[in-house]
Structure 1
Amino acid sequence: MSKRRLNALKVLALLSQIRWYNILLLLLGQYLAALYVFADKYARVPLLTDAGTHLSIWASTFLLASGFLINTFYDLEADSINRPRQTSFERLVRKSTSLRVAGILLFSGLLMAFSVSWRAIGYYGIYAFLLWLYSHRLRNIPFVGHASAAILGLMPFFGISVYHDFISLPTLAYGMLLGLALFSRELVKDLLGFKGDIIAGKVNVAAVYGTRKVRLVLVINTILAWIPAYFTRPLFNEYASYGIVTLLFLLTVSNLITLRSINLRNLRWAHLGYKLVLVIGVLTIPFL
């Protein structure tokens, strides 16, 4: 294998460790929120030239990418059992290299936040600390770790709202809906990674409380997801309502698949459903 091809594969392996698809979805969601939620139609062109908006978005993206790299480092043993092919590919990148890149991303993200404002560095500094706390402590606490992961996934969007000094009931309700979807996805990831987590000695919510209780939580989560959507439906326009109903339908179907699953194949279909929920959730943002 040529050196150039090997280096290209290492870059792809690093992108896999960073979970590039999650990062890309986060970037798209933040830009859509900035353009269509936090700015009216007359302020969109000036917003595209606003350095603070771009720096805020990329600061949170770099920080989250750093967090993904740290989590990949800690999950290596379990992932080698749950996802052997992907983990084998990601091992093209040395652990020391991954940690150095994580440090560079962390420093770059905080530097970007510092260049925006003191309020931004305060917010993203807390975000960086919570990412560290999650990787080292919270992720090992059943349900608390899953809720923390969902909150951390939403914090970049609220970072943009902090910068633009904008918050509203519809955005809060929609954020709650996406948060419940993220929480469900985290629970299903535990069900998928049950075997590897047990062998690696990791805390797995299904092992601690049993799969029945985890599935009961998913049922409750589905019911809770419909509540904010029902009571805030007059606040959304027709197109946003279509997106929210589609999102809720997919979330419910994914949870039902999880409840009735008897093997990993069914759980993978459910996990794919949660990914579609998040994609639709991001694409619905312009209509809020």
Structure 2
Amino acid sequence: MQKSLFYRFSQFVGFLLGARFFVAALLTFALYVSTFFLFNQEESFRKFVFDFRVHGIIFCTVLSILAGGIINQFYDFEKDHIVKPFRTRVQSFIKQKYFLYAYLALTVISLGVASFISYRVLIFFVVYQFFMWFYSHKMSRILILNNLTFVSLTLYPFFGMMVYYQTFSRKIFLMAIFLFLILLCIDIVKDTLTKSVDKSFGYTTIPNYFKSKNTKIILISLLMLTMAVSMKLIIKTGISGFMSYYFIGGLFMMIICIYLLLNSSRRAKFFTLNILRFWVFIGIIAMLLNGIEGKL
């Protein structure tokens, strides 16, 4: 009985890891925070809570992200055996065919709910899910396109909410560029840590295509560009409150990352990756606090 419970629990954890549940949870939190405090400039909190179209869109987004995580691990299964041995071991408690069944179920439910909201929302998610599959199937192996597509797919739901609320401004445009650049740096740094494995499995990435020196130049250039965007936001958009502190602090974080990248050790790259990931999370918290302060 004890073994059976442990096995079922392992299956459950394996499914959560395979579907990238924790990534989906973080993106859901980020979507709600950005939707209410950034894109939604007019509605009251009460009206937002009862806007079932918005909740429906976010629900479809979550299901699509879970489905995308499943199909991605299906294509990367052999590579993950080397890169992520613990996660692969836990996922092995579930047969791959059940992951595929879950992928189909999540996709159908997501598109079904989207069709009830509107045909435009349905088209939005058909495009989203197609490119998530196409990224895993083909584009993840193509130089530069793999990084650009991954980051674009991460930001795609936020773009959808921005269009839904028709919130277009210089500040939001610059914030989107800032986030795009940070996520791009994260993806490239992550590729430097799996350079040899990616090459063995036919993934052409910036680190295994260019020399280490050129990869370092690309990353440092992107970080300096991120700093320039951050300074533009601080000086030109009148951003205030917690978000201003976030972008000012971001300048120092980028300098630390540049310093770490000048050291070519694996440990320095690992620290850089986690600093950038942590700073994205801090950005969500800063947006939340800034929004609460603005609503009071």
Give the TM interval when normalised to the shorter protein.
over 0.9
* Mapped partners of 2:73, 2:231: distance in 1: 38
* Mapped partners of 1:99, 1:56: distance in 2: 23
Deviation at 1:24, TM superposition (A): 1.4
Partner of 2:163: 162
* Mapped partners of 1:108, 1:129: distance in 2: 15
Q: Is residue 191–residue 205 contact of structure 2 (8 Å, CA) maintained in 1?
A: yes
* Mapped partners of 2:254, 2:284: distance in 1: 14
Partner of 1:192: 193
Q: Where in structure 2 are the equivalents of 1:180-259 lying within 5 Å?
A: 180-233=181-234, 234-235=236-237, 236-259=239-262
- Backbone CA RMSD of aligned residues: 1.9
Q: Is residue 257–residue 270 contact of structure 1 (8 Å, CA) maintained in 2?
A: yes
Structure 2, unaligned runs of 5 or more = 292-296
Deviation readout 1:200-222 (Å, 9 max, x if unpaired): 33333322112222211101101
* Mapped partners of 2:114, 2:163: distance in 1: 12
Instruction: Pick the aligned partner of 2:273 from 251, 271, 287.
Output: 271
Aligned amino acid, residue 261 of structure 1? S
Q: Where in structure 2 are the equivalents of 1:8-87 lying within 5 Å?
A: 8-40=9-41, 43-87=44-88
Partner of 1:92: 93
Partner of 1:284: 286
Deviation at 1:97, TM superposition (A): 1.1
Deviation at 1:170, TM superposition (A): 1.3
Q: Is residue 38–residue 166 contact of structure 1 (8 Å, CA) maintained in 2?
A: yes
Establish whether residue 261 from structure 1 lines up as the match of residue 264 from structure 2.
yes
Q: Structure 1 pair 118/256, CA: closer, same or farther in 2 (3 Å)?
A: farther
Q: Is residue 142–residue 203 contact of structure 1 (8 Å, CA) maintained in 2?
A: yes
* Mapped partners of 1:152, 1:256: distance in 2: 29
Aligned amino acid, residue 240 of structure 1? M
* Mapped partners of 1:91, 1:270: distance in 2: 31
Compute the TM-score of the two structures, normalised by the length of structure 2.
Answer: 0.90
Deviation at 1:106, TM superposition (A): 1.6
Partner of 2:294: none
Partner of 1:137: 138
Q: Is residue 258–residue 266 contact of structure 1 (8 Å, CA) maintained in 2?
A: yes
Deviation readout 1:165-186 (Å, 9 max, x if unpaired): 3222211211111111110111
Among all aligned residue pairs of Structure 1 and Structure 2, give the percentage whose two residues are the same amino acid: 22
* Mapped partners of 1:123, 1:42: distance in 2: 23
Deviation at 1:248, TM superposition (A): 4.0
Deviation at 1:255, TM superposition (A): 4.3
Deviation larger for 50-59 or 38-47: 38-47
* Mapped partners of 2:139, 2:51: distance in 1: 36
Q: Structure 1 pair 248/89, CA: closer, same or farther in 2 (3 Å)?
A: farther
Deviation readout 1:224-257 (Å, 9 max, x if unpaired): 1122222232421132111122234334423432
Deviation larger for 268-277 or 23-32: 268-277
Q: Structure 1 pair 65/248, CA: closer, same or farther in 2 (3 Å)?
A: farther
Deviation larger for 231-240 or 128-137: 231-240
* Mapped partners of 2:248, 2:28: distance in 1: 24
Deviation readout 1:132-166 (Å, 9 max, x if unpaired): 22112221111111011111111111111222232
Partner of 2:128: 127
* Mapped partners of 2:158, 2:134: distance in 1: 20
Q: Structure 1 pair 249/103, CA: closer, same or farther in 2 (3 Å)?
A: farther
Higher relative contact order (CA 8 A, sep 6+): 1
Q: Structure 1 pair 195/88, CA: closer, same or farther in 2 (3 Å)?
A: farther
Compute the TM-score of the two structures, normalised by the length of structure 1.
Answer: 0.92
Deviation readout 1:104-130 (Å, 9 max, x if unpaired): 112222222222222211222211122
Structure 1, unaligned runs of 5 or more = none
Deviation at 1:40, TM superposition (A): 4.0
Equivalent pairs, count: 287
* Mapped partners of 1:60, 1:251: distance in 2: 30
Deviation at 1:41, TM superposition (A): 7.3
Aligned amino acid, residue 243 of structure 1? Y
